[in-house]
């Protein structure tokens, strides 16, 4: 019966406020594209009976950036993302290759993401994102087998596993939208962070985020490639066209794998974050500029963010990991076939009782060019990051850092919905090496060795 309703003429469009998608609204459906009518699904739906009745009352269904079903005041939208890859990591220094694995390569399915979103009565919206992709070894995915990551102790609770229990929920919340200027969201929410971490994985120009952005994710609560935490968010947009956006969050600070009231290892201190964004022209929001270019115009957006958390390893007696402050600024722009994204981020961990006081910094610049009249895009980026331990640290006064520069070639079969990307990233060590292998395949084992990471990804996002 639900399949029979797909022919009804309704359409659900995403409306982005502050870089976060709000409720789809029904509109008259345009004529289907030639490509769509050639698919088996659309061929079947073309024979469906119009004005079908759904279970529980009259309703409509269809596809527009996701399959949707509407009945009365209720809307359900379903999206699926699949990212399948071949990737390989090669070290210049054979002695520093992963042991006993050596140079690493293989096929994987990093993301198999199922998303449910929509609205209910009284301006209530909802979202749930389930991840069943190929995570791999979270705490030791690229190092010698007798080593552990520096992040495992400080930030290990932010992984998707906790005591062996897999947690498929990547994000999930209920939201009440009082008006475009103010919406209150509660659940497992995105925290304010750098632009690239707030760009959906499906919209990335490269196969994945830069090493510079990965470092930002590793020093904040949440998944290292997408920061998420339990709490509340207030967000909205101002201006004649919603060009000024903001979000503010108050969260647990312990990451998505813990339920604090049942976990004696957590604490009561909250984490706080905020972000502001200004679309100077156009509507880039928090995203990169891929596929937003226009031959006859330009668009630009700038933003700034901060996150603060007083991290206690133990409450009785007080044993503090550190006062964790992170902040940054970023920008994105498009003109003709060109696009550009840049970001600078920095932070400190102070007042630690475990001798881990340090400052960190990261930055990157990324540019792309979509050849007019074609489905081909090339992109390049360069970035660097460093971690400097304070002299009172038991690790001494030392600095670790890495640089990465890469190139990417993308063929858009059907925009971001269906695309193939080949990229190569060249990793170089600085000072005493780098340590973010948990979040960027192979990099920590390259702490004193140059290396190259090659990835081929085919993405389908329905």
State the average pLDDT over residues 424-449: 67
φ, ψ dihedrals at 259, nearest 5°? -105, 105
pLDDT digits (tens, 9 = 90+) for 142-181: 333 333 333 333 343 333 334 445 568 889 999 999 999 9
The structure's pTM equals 0.78
- Closest among 304, 310, 299 to 277, alpha carbons compared: 304
Q: Are 457 and 421 within 8 A, CB to CB?
A: yes
Comparing 186-200, 400-414, 432-446, the range with the smallest average pLDDT is 432-446
The helix, strand and coil proportions of the chain, stated in percent and rounded to the nearest 5, come to: 10, 50, 40
- Neighbouring residues of 402: CB distance < 8 A, sequence distance ≥ 6: 211, 384, 385, 427, 428, 429, 430, 433, 434, 436, 443, 446
In the DSSP assignment, the letter for residue 173 is E
The two tokens of residue 61 are: 């269904």
State the average pLDDT over residues 229-237: 95
State the average pLDDT over residues 190-215: 90
Q: Is 187 left (phi over 0), alpha (psi -120 to 50) or beta?
A: left
- Closest among 196, 176, 199 to 186, alpha carbons compared: 176
State the average pLDDT over residues 216-237: 86
pLDDT attached to residue 205: 92
pLDDT of residue 4 exceeding 50 = no
Higher-pLDDT residue of 429 and 265 is 429
- Closest among 273, 293, 279 to 237, alpha carbons compared: 279
State the average pLDDT over residues 393-414: 82
Domains and CATH numbers, the chain: 1-72 (no CATH), 73-461 (2.40.160.10)
- Closest among 331, 339, 344 to 408, alpha carbons compared: 339
State the average pLDDT over residues 65-91: 91
Question: Is the Cα dihedral 411, 415, 416, 419 positive or negative?
Answer: negative
């Amino acid at each position: 019966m639900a399949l029979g309703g797909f022919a009804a003429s309704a359409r659900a469009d995403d409306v982005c406020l502050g870089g976060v998608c709000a409720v789809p609204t029904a509109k008259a459906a345009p004529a289907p594209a030639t490509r769509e009518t050639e698919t088996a699904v659309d061929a079947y739906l073309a024979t469906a009976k119009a004005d079908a009745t759904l279970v529980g009352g009259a309703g409509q269904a269809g596809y527009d950036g996701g399959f949707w079903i509407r009945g009365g005041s209720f809307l359900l939208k379903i999206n699926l993302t699949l990212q399948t890859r071949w990737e390989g990591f090669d070290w210049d220094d054979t002695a520093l290759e992963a042991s006993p694995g050596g140079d690493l390569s293989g096929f994987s399915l990093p993301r198999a993401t199922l998303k449910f979103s929509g609205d209910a009565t009284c301006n209530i919206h909802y979202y749930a994102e389930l991840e069943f992709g190929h995570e791999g070894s979270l705490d030791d995915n690229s190092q010698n087998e007798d080593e552990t990551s520096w992040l495992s102790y400080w930030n290990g609770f932010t992984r998707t596993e906790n005591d062996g229990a897999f947690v498929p929920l990547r994000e999930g919340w209920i939201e009440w939208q009082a008006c475009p200027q103010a919406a209150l969201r509660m659940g497992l929410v995105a925290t304010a962070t750098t632009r690239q971490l707030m760009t959906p994985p499906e919209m990335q120009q490269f196969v994945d985020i830069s090493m510079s952005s990965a470092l930002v994710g590793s020093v904040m609560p949440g998944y290292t490639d997408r920061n998420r935490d339990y709490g509340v968010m207030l967000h909205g947009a101002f201006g004649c066209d919603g060009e000024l956006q903001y979000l503010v969050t108050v969260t647990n600070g312990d990451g998505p794998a813990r339920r604090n009231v049942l976990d004696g290892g957590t604490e009561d201190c909250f984490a706080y974050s905020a972000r502001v964004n200004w679309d100077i022209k156009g509507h880039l929001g928090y995203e990169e500029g891929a596929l937003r270019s226009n031959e006859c115009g330009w668009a630009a957006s700038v933003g700034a963010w901060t996150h603060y958390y007083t991290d206690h390893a133990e409450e009785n007696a007080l044993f503090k990991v550190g006062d964790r402050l992170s902040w940054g600024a970023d920008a994105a722009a498009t003109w003709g076939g060109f696009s550009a994204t840049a970001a600078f981020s920095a932070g400190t961990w102070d007042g630690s009782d475990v001798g881990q006081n340090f400052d960190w910094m990261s930055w990157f610049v990324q540019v792309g060019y979509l050849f007019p009249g074609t489905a081909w895009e090339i992109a390049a980026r360069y970035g660097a990051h460093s971690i400097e331990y304070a002299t009172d640290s038991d690790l001494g006064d030392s600095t670790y850092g890495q640089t990465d520069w890469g190139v990417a070639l993308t063929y858009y079969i059907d925009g971001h919905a269906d695309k193939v990307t080949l990229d190569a990233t060249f990793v170089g060590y600085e000072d005493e090496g780098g340590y973010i292998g948990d979040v960027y395949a192979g990099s920590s084992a390259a702490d004193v060795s140059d290396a190259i990471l090659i990835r081929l990804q085919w993405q389908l996002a329905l």
